[in-house]
Structure 1
Amino acid sequence: MTDAVAVATRAAPSEAGSKPFSVFEWLVALRYLRGRRSKAFVSEIAGFSFLGIGVGVATLIVVMSVMNGFRHELLDKIVGINGHVFLQGVETPLTDYDAVDERLAKVPGVKLVIPMIEGAAAVSSPYNQAGALIRGIKEADIKRLPGIAGHITLGTLDNFDSTGGVAIGQRLAESLALRIGDTISVLTAKGPQTPFGVAPRIKSYPITAIFQIGMSEFDSSFVYMPLTEAQAFFGKDGEATVIEAFVDDPDHMDEVRAKLDAVVGRPMIMTDWRQRNKTFFDALNVERNVMFIILALIVLVAALNIISGLIMLVKDKSPDIAILRTMGATRGAILRIFLITGTAIGVAGTFAGLVLGVLVARNIEGIRTFLNWAFHSNLFPSELYFLSHLPSRVEPGDVIAVVVMTILLSILATLYPSWRAATLDPVEALRYE
């Protein structure tokens, strides 16, 4: 008597025709997952299917989490220092920026409004020189700026307006070999008009603060100075060149833009973070979707292994199936037995991959640090990726989508082998036994 038949006998033959997914069907299905030594090849295929699905699910979760981390970190860094909405004056200089600031700050959903002077300049020290973006800003505003507040590594922003000093990024300070108290020279080609043409303007400022945003592009190029100093340096007395607004929900900009447009009270050009970074974030979303499709093929290959493993199992268990049919098992019961067998492999592999993927995704930076130490290399150079660490953000929606997709593929993979088992003719199966 075969193992499956013995199990069926112990489970009471009368259960063979009982309600679907009875104890009898579960016992036989789970017994088929443990291959006998003489027929171990079938169970080995099931094991490889389990591993394939587990690795596929874990890889999908890790990659999607890293891509989500990239988007969140880049959005947080870029928008955190640049704002969500940008307003620039047209027709007349933006000398009434305080009045515009007050009107915009009253709009529901707007949490911070900052008038600024922006201009490109060359910066230098006795040791090196570089290009920089100069930003003039009030002390009260720079202390509330999300990308700067809480990221001062050296010095202080206290008395920022009165000291006449500047705050520079960590990488720029390292590039110019500057420390707190040193002076940095700022040069712009748009100086005063002379009989011989426009003369460049150069002025030195003491460094009062050094910040580290965590995005190398910003840490190596931004210089903040008091608004009055920037107005004098760029010849914009009493003006602001841009007003930046930060909102509570940057993913729903259209509603906020309509409210801002209604209260701005003067001709202005309005853009938001989506327009300024559209190409960058569109490319990131396309890459994320393509990576999902490519890595989903791993799960699909593992699901195909379930099909091949179950077909071999059906051939191996043909005599058992025939005997079970003669004992009263219906075609539906046989179909469900093999459906349970294949689905069990998929579900077990899915949840094993889920646990592994979440663990790796939540500790990806520690793993990267260990690999850098073990192989004496830099697997994530910040100069290329603009971030000082490898980000990861596990989104419940993505995890659920991966788990549901994998389980559905596993169930679909079991349908054909299960149907073949259910339609097996007992007479033909036992003819040569």
Structure 2
Amino acid sequence: MFRTVERLLAFRYLRARRKEGFISVIAGFSLLGIALGVGTLIVVLAVMKGFRDQLVDRILGLNGHMTVFSASGRGIQDYGGIAADLEKAQVVVRALPMVEGQVLASGPDDARGALVRGFTRESLERKTLIANNIRAGSLEDFQGKGVLIGTRMAQRLGLRLGDELNLISPRTVATPFGGMPRQVSFPVVGLFEVGMFEFDSSLVFMPFDTAQAFFQTGDAATAIEVDVTDPQNVKAIRGEIGSIIADRGVVLTDWQQTNSTLVGALDVERNVMFLILTLIILIAAFNIISGMVMLVKDKSRDIAILRTMGATRGMILRIFMMTGASIGIVGTFIGFVLGLAFATNIESIRQALQALTGTQLFSAEIYFLSKLPADVVWSDVVSVVGLSLVLSFLATLYPAWRAARLDPVEALRYE
């Protein structure tokens, strides 16, 4: 498509002489802008994708994909039968009855609100996010009155393995002095850390029968957690699950309903960031236009001489298109390499910057997760690179067209 002489002239115009230094500066800033835009866009999309996936995985790993509640609010009496019927469905991976309630948890150092979830040991072993992230103790001791708490809750309350966790239930107990909150101490038999601050700092796991006695639910469960084969497609599965539990005095909610605001906000933020950072590439493309227009103006005498020597308008068009597009291609390649390198090592870079500056760059209290995640999606990378190349190519069309339309007579009249 491009002849040898066209390539030689195009690359010659990229190496500006001393009097064309300002044009070279503009070209350099254009290349830098495209590289920064492409690299930043790759990193931001990877981090936001990783953040969303990690957040959703933690939410689904602990809360289940669907939850069955009592329609009357009095608990589910036939929780064993309902769970067994649900697990017969091909779309259901597991159905785990639980007892859930809010408490005030206290230790030697502090007191804070907490959420207690009662499961059998067998059910908790099937929740792999917990079973695979026990940092101290063992699930073998999860029986009787022993409880599991998160590592961050243990740090805040000043508790260690074997210490007593004091729980105060909002349900009152009748005494000669009136109603008093129910208060019981439980030994800590294990510490877990799932990597999400909200869960590691406020969740307590208690044996199922102990939770029933503590919350005085009788022989009932407050909910049944249901995990399905395709959690991203719960709306399609909902009808099949609903038919199993129909007319049994229960209602069904899914994780997309419960977390719709959070997931929707993450998706909107990702799209907005893509749009904003694309403007960096667009500005760099406009810099290519301005630099190329100035180059065409400066090279008008050379263009006229080439035309008089037999160069066609198409040849001039291709020369200046190649000159401008080379800036975009090189800038895109540099941004591609830098973006991938940064995204794949972003947690190590964060740790190094924190050690260097002595500041917390990714606070778990604010961002929910303990580590900065990044998930490079190649379709996103291809989209960013393709967008950059297209904008760079379009930026060369007008200056190249002006160069091709230049009249040799007018250009050489005053030479």
TM-score, normalization: structure 2? 0.95
Please report how far the alpha carbon of residue 194 of structure 1 lies from its aligned counterpart in structure 2 after TM superposition: 6.1
Q: 1:57 — aligned with what?
A: 38
Instruction: Give the fraction of aligned pairs with identical amino acids, expressed as a percent.
Output: 51
Q: Conserved in 2, the CA contact under 8 Å of 1:322 and 1:425?
A: yes
**Does the residue aligned with 1:189 lie in a helix, a strand or coil?**
strand
Q: Conserved in 2, the CA contact under 8 Å of 1:170 and 1:219?
A: yes
**Does the residue aligned with 1:220 lie in a helix, a strand or coil?**
helix
Query: What CA deviation, in whole Å up to 9, does each residue of 1:19-62 have, x standing for no partner?
Result: x4233322221222111233233222212111110011111111
* 1:260-279 matched pairs, under 5 angstroms: 260-265=241-246, 266-279=248-261
Counterpart check, 1:127 vs 2:106: no
Q: Conserved in 1, the CA contact under 8 Å of 2:34 and 2:281?
A: yes
Q: 1:35 aligns with which of 13, 16, 21?
A: 16
Q: 1:4 — aligned with what?
A: none
Q: 1:181 — aligned with what?
A: 162
Matched AA of 1:221: S
Counterpart check, 1:239 vs 2:213: no
Q: 1:11 — aligned with what?
A: none
Q: Conserved in 1, the CA contact under 8 Å of 2:76 and 2:250?
A: no
Q: Conserved in 2, the CA contact under 8 Å of 1:95 and 1:238?
A: yes
Matched AA of 1:322: A
**Does the residue aligned with 1:136 lie in a helix, a strand or coil?**
strand
**Does the residue aligned with 2:224 lie in a helix, a strand or coil?**
strand
Please report how far the alpha carbon of residue 260 of structure 1 lies from its aligned counterpart in structure 2 after TM superposition: 0.8
Please report how far the alpha carbon of residue 86 of structure 1 lies from its aligned counterpart in structure 2 after TM superposition: 1.0
Please report how far the alpha carbon of residue 130 of structure 1 lies from its aligned counterpart in structure 2 after TM superposition: 1.6
Query: What CA deviation, in whole Å up to 9, does each residue of 1:378-420 have, x standing for no partner?
Result: 1112111111111111111211111111111111111110110
Matched AA of 1:168: I
Please report how far the alpha carbon of residue 195 of structure 1 lies from its aligned counterpart in structure 2 after TM superposition: 7.8
Please report how far the alpha carbon of residue 283 of structure 1 lies from its aligned counterpart in structure 2 after TM superposition: 1.6
Counterpart check, 1:115 vs 2:97: yes
Instruction: Could you tell me which runs of 5 or more consecutive residues in structure 2 were left unpaired when the two chains were aligned.
Output: none
Q: Conserved in 2, the CA contact under 8 Å of 1:179 and 1:207?
A: yes
Q: 2:5 — aligned with what?
A: 24
* Cα distance between partner residues in 2 of 1:87 and 1:119: 15
Please report how far the alpha carbon of residue 193 of structure 1 lies from its aligned counterpart in structure 2 after TM superposition: 5.1
Cα distance change on mapping 1:261 and 1:339 into 2, 3 Å: same
Q: Conserved in 2, the CA contact under 8 Å of 1:81 and 1:146?
A: no
Q: 1:334 aligns with which of 292, 316, 322?
A: 316
**Does the residue aligned with 2:189 lie in a helix, a strand or coil?**
strand
Matched AA of 2:60: V
Q: Which deviates more from structure 2 when the two are superposed, residues 88-97 or residues 301-310?
A: 88-97
Q: Conserved in 1, the CA contact under 8 Å of 2:68 and 2:250?
A: yes
Counterpart check, 1:152 vs 2:96: no
Q: 1:83 — aligned with what?
A: 64
Q: 2:351 — aligned with what?
A: 369
Q: Which deviates more from structure 2 when the two are superposed, residues 325-334 or residues 422-431?
A: 325-334
Q: How many residues align?
A: 413
* 1:6-405 matched pairs, under 5 angstroms: 20-91=1-72, 93-161=75-143, 163-192=144-173, 198-265=179-246, 266-405=248-387
Query: What CA deviation, in whole Å up to 9, does each residue of 1:141-160 have, x standing for no partner?
Result: 11121331211101001142
Matched AA of 2:128: P
Matched AA of 2:125: K
**Does the residue aligned with 2:225 lie in a helix, a strand or coil?**
strand
RMSD: 1.7
Q: Conserved in 2, the CA contact under 8 Å of 1:136 and 1:227?
A: yes
Please report how far the alpha carbon of residue 223 of structure 1 lies from its aligned counterpart in structure 2 after TM superposition: 0.5
* Cα distance between partner residues in 1 of 2:88 and 2:405: 72
Query: What CA deviation, in whole Å up to 9, does each residue of 1:175-213 have, x standing for no partner?
Result: 111111111111112144568764421111111101111
Query: What CA deviation, in whole Å up to 9, does each residue of 1:277-331 have, x standing for no partner?
Result: 1111222222222222221111111101100111111112112211222222221
* Cα distance between partner residues in 1 of 2:310 and 2:111: 88
Query: What CA deviation, in whole Å up to 9, does each residue of 1:124-147 have, x standing for no partner?
Result: 224322211011001011112133
